[in-house]
Structures are given as structure tokens and as C-alpha cells.
Amino acid sequence: MTEPVLDVQHLAVAYATRAGEVPVIPDLSFQLNAGEALGLVGESGCGKSTVALSIMRYLGRGGRITGGRIVFEGRDLGELDERALRSIRGRRIAMVYQDPMASLNPVMTVGRQLVEVPMIHDGVARAAARARALAMLREVKIADAEAVMERYPHQLSGGQQQRIVIAMALIAEPALLIMDEPTTGLDVTVEAAVLDLVRELRRRRDTAILFISHNLGSVVRVCDRVGVMYRGEIVEEGTVRHIFTNPRHPYTRGLLDCLPTLGRDKRRVPLVPIPGQVEPLSERTLGCGFASRCGYVEAGRCTSRPIPMAALEREAGHHVACLRLHELPRWRPRRSAVTTLDTDASADPMIAVHHLTKVYEPRRRRRRYGLPRPPVRALADVTVDAGRRQTLAIVGESGCGKSTLAKVLSGLEVATAGEVKLDGVEVGAVRVEARSRALRRTLQMVFQNPDSTLNPSHTVGYAIGRALRRLHDRAPSDAAADVARLLEVVKLAPAMASRMPRQLSGGEKQRVAIARALAGDPAVIVADEPVSALDVSVQAAVINLLNEIQAARGATLVFISHDLAVVRYLADHVAVMYLGTVAEFGRVDRVFAPPYHPYTEALLSAVPVLDPDQDAARIILEGPVPRAHEIPRGCPFATRCPRRVGQICDDVPPPVQQLGADHRIACHIPAEELRRLQTATVAEAGAR
């Protein structure tokens, strides 16, 4: 057997804090062979990135390796001095970080940065280095590599930037590539393309990859083996197939059960959040780290001694750190057949948006310098309805106008043209300041960013109490009781009222924001990406909460998201948006079944499928999203559409095909043709 490229043996890492040294990783071991990809998954704060930084010896001032060995190509990295490390970093071990813009130097052209790498590491002459850079760019599938070499990082899209960073990491032909959340900031379709690239590069080269991600779906696509981390320990390790078809550790199961996938629907299979939250690392106890959140915990047994890693007999290489390993029932993926609905949004709409257009005019002053800036069309002829007591989901990639639509609904922006009716009242041109109290009560919003949704200077109680006072006429005496009642609705302890936002976790902040929105008992709740910044387990809890509240209060929920799986789970109706237009709108079961709009089809194929056996028909969208002022005259999707039929797509706006009362697609291809093409692709994929 050949020696592994990376052999981490009993690694222990601690961070110095004001309260003393906290062991972040107590005892971690794993091996990585040449050409192999190991995924490390887990919630935030479980030590994934610390592992990566320890291997690079980049822990910084606070962190310290307190024990164990990191053997890389036969040498213990822990014993090397700065000089020796420099000869390894970048040349033998390369790292790709989450934010490509932070890895690229903004004042140097991409080409210079790329050429530098072989020149410094291998002492290659400039011309030869340039040739290698060009070849590498082609390998990471950058079209027009020559031109891209001359550009600055900010002139490239996020997906291109990340490809450049990957190229830069691979150009020195490292033995080990560490990728820390490489696709987290990217749009779904771009993410799919980058993951595809990594998978392909791995097959072609002999590089070992350590792939760190909180996203189980991306791990399935890229890795051979997976290590599930919890509180600094690997609790389960095995091949992708082991982990995703036969997970044995309760934490792994919890992660899989709380993940919305395309097969899940709120009516059939609810998401199961992992109870509680990751406990602080400073309070490490003797037994199983997961015991406090585990549904299978056995008092005394699980908490009295360290849990050893046990191998499974029938599955080679599958190790689990759980005492009750053989006592747990077999895990089954929760999946449901697609349910049919019999609801109609247009029959009794709570929200009716008709031919809404929003154009941002550039500031006049700028015209003095150079050419006038063109106006930006954020929304063009958008028509959607949301029925009473229903959930309308708006889905699309960044820049598709979904947040602008939310802002127009809430009055933070006003419509340029078209109708926006809220319970029969026209509100499109009414700014929120000009809205009546009753109207403001009708519609409230939940925002995206948990860190800025609550005022850091106000207590939770003040935030909710103030909303109650403004939206509900409450005498001050019973305000405290009302705050407590609202906190209970969002499943927080009433004592939370005296906390400051910085004392709360992201999920708790988002719950408080929901409680605040509920203060006026709104008929409509607009939630703009409320869970996209949260960990999967917390995300499941917040989604369930929104769903429950909506059902219990009979409110209409407008749910904005880029995550199709979440949308599939939560929505009654879906609007798929692209560049300010609605590509497809309809009942959720119809939108998620053929015929699809080609854009919906592409989005769906980009959604990670948690099944290592299923190699679904994959559509990778090429090219960047056009800039707002370069939108094609015809179909906005024409520049990237894999099913483009011809010149007509560029020149003529697509007709809206009404398929039944509750489903419409804006495409030149007749719906029947789309259905035929798309069912054929699926069958073909099934046959493979």
C-alpha cells in the first residue's frame, strides 16, 4: 500500500481566549491518499476550518497545535520552521478560500498573478510561465483565456474569479489542495459549474483534495470519502455512499433529516431540525459531545467515558463514534411523492401584482462626466399572485429582482409602472412612510441578515415592544406580557426579552425578527431570504416556524429564496425570476414537473441531490448573467439558454404560454415540445 499524502495523527488544537486555553480540536485523525477527495462537513463552529488552517500552519496568534502530528509527504508539518513551510505552502499544498475576491490582488491583472506562481515556486522563465498559465486557464474552462489574463479581478464574475483562484492553486501542481467552502458565496448555477470543474480536475490529476463545506449536497458531488465533524471531532467517516445511504451516527442523520431536498414537501415530510445548538467548546465533558442534542442518548452510558471510533464490519472504511451504533434503527431517507394541490392563487388573491416595472434612474449629476448612465431595469412586466393563507415563493439567482419585488411590496421602493394590489388596495406607488397604519399592519417583513435585522443598541424586549406599540395600540402595562407571548410564539424563552442582540445566535436573532414582524398580526409576511445565512439545522427550525405561524395565523407568506429545495418544501405557488422577468409561474407541483422553463430546468439540475448513485441529467449554464443594461431585446435568458432555438430568442420577447389556470411559462418553445425534450433527458439519464 502506498503511503498517504496527508496523515493527520491525533491532532489537538487549542485557542487562547480571555478565559484561558480552549481545546477546539481534542483528538483528530484522518488520512488522505493521492487522487482522493475527502469532505469535511458539519455546522459552523465545529472546527472544520481550524483543521485546514492547522495543516497550513496558519493558525495565527491565538491558535496552537497542542498535540499530534500532521505528516505530509513523510514530513511532520508541525516541526518545520518558517523557511521550510514556505517551500511547501503554495507549491505542495495549495488552498482555495471562500471569498475569491479576498484571495486575488485587486490592483494586479489576473495574468500577472497567475504567471507569478510558477516563476516563484519553480523558477520558470516568464514566457514558459505564461504558457502554463494559459493552459491552466483553459483547463479550468475559462473561455477566451488570452483576454482574461489582461483583466483585473473586479472585471470578472464571481464564478470566473473562483475558477482563477482554483487555477492559481493548481498551477504549481500541488500534492494537496485544501478547499474551504469554495462555493458558498456563489449562485446555485455557478456553484454547480465550479463543483463540476473540481470533480473533473480531480479525475484528471492526481491531486488529493480536502474539501470543507457545510453543504452536504456539494460534498456528494465532489468527494469519495466524507468525515462528519462535530465539536472538533470526526464522529463518522466513510465513503460518500456509506454516509448518504447508511448514516449511522445520530448527528449525521440529523444533518440529513433537516436538509430540504427536492423530494420534500411540507405537507408530507416535515423537516426535522436538530434540537438545541452547538454547545460552547469551553464546556467539553467526558462522554459524547453530541449527547445533549441526541435523541438516542442513554444517560450515564453515553456521557461517562470517551466514545471510541468503531469500524463497521460489512462496510470497509466506515467508522462511527457512537456507542449505540448497532442498536439504532436503520435510517431511511425521508422522501415523499409529489402531492397535487387544488388551490388557485388568482381566485382570491391577497397580493396581485400586474405588469409591475421598476426602473432605477441614474443620478442626473453624473451626466456631466462622460456618457450618461443607462437606467437600470430591475423589474420588467412582472405578474404574480398570492392567494390568501398561501405561500408564494420567489426564486432566482442574485440580481434577478426578487428583493426589489419585496421592497416594492413593502413600500421601501415604489413601482415605476404597473399595479400592486394588497387585499384589493393599490399600493405600488405608496411609499411606506405614506402608508396608513392599517396598511402597515397588514404587511410586515422579515429580513435576510441576522446581524443587521436587530438594532445592536436595543434589547430584544424593546425591539418587540416598540413594534407592538407602533402597530397595536397597547397600554404599556401589558406590553411586557405581550412581548413574552410573542417570544413564546417563536419558541424563545420570555427571559430573552432582556438580552442584547449580540448575545443571541443567528437563529435566535431571526426568530426575534419574526416575532417583531408578527407584532401587528399581519395578513402578509414578506420574508426576504430569511434562512440563507443560517446553518442547515437552524434553517430547518426557522422554516418550520414560519410554516407553522403561517398555518396558525392564516397569513399569506411571500418567501424569497435562491434555494429551490427550500422553495419546493415550503411553497404553494412559485415564481421563477430571471433578470427582472418572471420566467415561470405556477403551482409548486406544476413548476417542479415538466414542462419547465429552460431556466427552471437549469436551476433544478443545479440543486444538489443527496444520492451518490443518482447522476441526474446535468445542465451547466455557460457564460455570465448579462449586466442590467445589456439585457437582450428578446428573451432575457437567451444568452445562456441551453435550449435556445435561434435568432427569434434574441430579437422577440417570448410569449407567455398559459398552461391551465395555474401555470405559465415565458418561452418560444411550445410547452408540448418542452415536455417531450425534458422527459427524454430524464429518461436518458435514468438509462445511464
Partner 1 sequence: MSTPATAEVLSASPPAAARVRARARWRRRLDALLASTPATVGLAIVLAWVVLGILAPVVAPYPPNANDLGALARPTPSTAHWLGTDQLGRDLLSRILWGARPVLVIAPLAVLGAAALGSLLGLSAGYHGRWISLVITRACDIVLSFPVIILYMIILAHFGSSAWNIIGVLTLTKAPIIARIVRGMTLDLREREYVAAAKMRGESALYIMFVEILPNARGPLLVDMCLRTGYNIVIIGVLGFLGIGLPPPDPDWGGMVKDTYGMMTVWPHMSLFPCAAISSLVVGFNLLAVGLREIGLRD
Handedness of CA 334, 337, 338, 339 (dihedral sign): negative
- Build a one-symbol-per-residue string for 613-642: x at contacts with partner 1 by CB under 8 A, - elsewhere: ------------------------------
> What CA–CA distance (Å, rounded) separates 619 from 112?
33
CB of 487 to partner 1, least distance (A): 9
**Distance in Å, CB of 572 to partner 1, minimum:** 24
In 3-state terms, the chain is what percent helix, strand and coil (to 5)? 35, 20, 40
Q: Which stretch binds partner 1 (CB under 8 A): 26-34, 237-245, 389-397, 407-415?
A: 407-415
The number of residues that bind partner 1 (CB under 8 A) is 39
User: Contact between 395 and partner 1 (CB under 8 A)?
Assistant: no
| Closest approach of partner 1 to the CB of residue 425, in Å | 16
Binding segment (CB under 8 A) for partner 1, from list 33-41, 158-166, 373-381, 515-523: 515-523
Establish if 135 lies at the interface with partner 1 (CB under 8 A): no
Can you tell me which of 513, 583, 625, 631 binds partner 1, judged by CB under 8 A? 513
Of the pair 409, 621, the CB lying nearest partner 1 is at 409
**Separation CA 465–CA 479 (nearest Å):** 6
Task: State the cell numbers at 473.
Answer: 395600540
Is the distance from CB of 319 to CB of 236 less than 8 angstroms? yes
Smallest separation, CB 467 to partner 1 (Å): 5
Q: 230 has which bridge partners?
A: 233
For residues 207 and 459, which CB has a smaller minimum distance to partner 1 in the complex?
A: 459
Q: Does 289 bind partner 1 (CB under 8 A)?
A: no
Choose which of 516, 568, 573, 668 interacts with partner 1 (CB under 8 A).
516
Regarding 447 and contact with partner 1 (CB under 8 A), the answer is yes
Least distance from partner 1 to the Cβ atom of residue 351, Å: 16
Decide: is 17 part of the binding site for partner 1 (CB under 8 A).
no
Instruction: Report in angstroms how near the CB of residue 480 gets to partner 1 at its nearest.
Output: 5
Nearer to partner 1, 332 or 502 (CB): 502
- Pairing state between β 376-387 and 349-360: antiparallel
Give the burial string for 517-541 (b: 16+ CB within 10 Å, else e). Answer: bbbbebbbbbbbbbbebbbbbbbbb
Tell me which of 155, 339, 346, 455 binds partner 1, using CB under 8 A.
455
The reply to whether 335 sits near partner 1 by the rule CB under 8 A is no
Report if residue 509 touches partner 1, rule: CB under 8 A.
no
Helix (H) or strand (E) holding 405: helix 402-410
Distance CA 66, CA 68 (A): 7
Q: How many CB atoms lie within 10 A of CB 659?
A: 16
- Name the 3-class secondary structure at 253: helix
> Which of 41, 169, 302, 445: binder of partner 1 (CB under 8 A)?
445
If one asks whether residue 449 binds partner 1 (CB under 8 A), the answer comes out as yes
Q: 310-311 and 233-239 as β-strands: parallel, antiparallel, unpaired?
A: unpaired
Whole-number minimum distance, CB 431 to partner 1, in Å? Answer: 9
Q: Should residue 520 be labelled a site residue for partner 1 when binding is judged by CB under 8 A?
A: yes
In terms of Cβ atoms closer than 10 Å to its own Cβ (0-12, 13-18, 19+), residue 607 is: buried
Other Cβ atoms closer than 10 A to 268: 14
Distances (CA, A) of 664 to 151, 404, 660, 687: 41, 22, 8, 30
Site for partner 1 in 466-485 (CB under 8 A): 466-467, 470-471, 480-481, 484-485
Task: Give the nearer residue to partner 1 in terms of CB position, either 478 or 684.
Answer: 478
Cell of 173: 501542481
Whichever of 267 and 366 has its CB closer to partner 1, that residue is 366
Pick the piece of the chain touching partner 1 (CB under 8 A) from 91-99, 197-205, 406-414, 653-661: 406-414
Smallest gap from residue 367 Cβ to partner 1 (A): 17
Write down the least CB distance from residue 456 to partner 1, Å.
6
| Shortest spacing between CB 629 and partner 1, in angstroms | 23
Binding of residue 161 to partner 1 (CB under 8 A): no
Residue 290 contacts partner 1 per CB under 8 A = no
Q: Which is nearer to partner 1, 299 or 369 (CB)?
A: 369
499 or 618, CB closer to partner 1? 499
* Residues in 415-444 that interact with partner 1 by CB under 8 A: 432-433, 435, 437, 440, 444
CB of 348 to partner 1, least distance (A): 25
State the Cα–Cα distance between residues 229 and 252, nearest whole angstrom. Answer: 9
User: How far is residue 314's CA from residue 307's CA, in Å, rounded to a whole number?
Assistant: 21
- Bridge-based pairing state of the strands 37-41 and 93-96: unpaired
Q: Whole-angstrom Cα distance, residue 495 to residue 176?
A: 49
Query: Does residue 412 touch partner 1 according to CB under 8 A?
Result: yes
Rounded to a whole number of angstroms, the minimum distance from the CB of residue 561 to partner 1 is: 17
Q: Identify the residue among 189, 207, 453, 537 touching partner 1 (CB under 8 A).
A: 453
CB of 460 to partner 1, least distance (A): 12
Q: At what angle do helices 476-489 and 506-518 cross, to 10 degrees?
A: 130
Q: From 601, 620, 613, 576, select the one nearest 675 (Cα to Cα).
A: 601
User: To 5 degrees, how large is the angle CA 455–CA 458–CA 460?
Assistant: 95
CA angle 180, 566, 280 (to 5 degrees): 50
The Cα–Cα gap between 514 and 463 comes to 11
Which one of the spans 38-46, 305-313, 491-499, 673-681 is the region binding partner 1 (CB under 8 A)?
Answer: 491-499
Interhelix angle 158-170/110-122, rounded to 10 degrees, is 10
- Whole-angstrom Cα distance, residue 265 to residue 588? 10
Cβ 478 to partner 1 shortest distance, Å: 10
**Contact flag: residue 511 with partner 1 (CB under 8 A):** no
Binding site for partner 1 (CB under 8 A): 410-412, 432-433, 435, 437, 440, 444-445, 447-449, 452-458, 463, 466-467, 470-471, 480-481, 484-485, 488, 494-495, 497-498, 502, 513, 516, 519-520
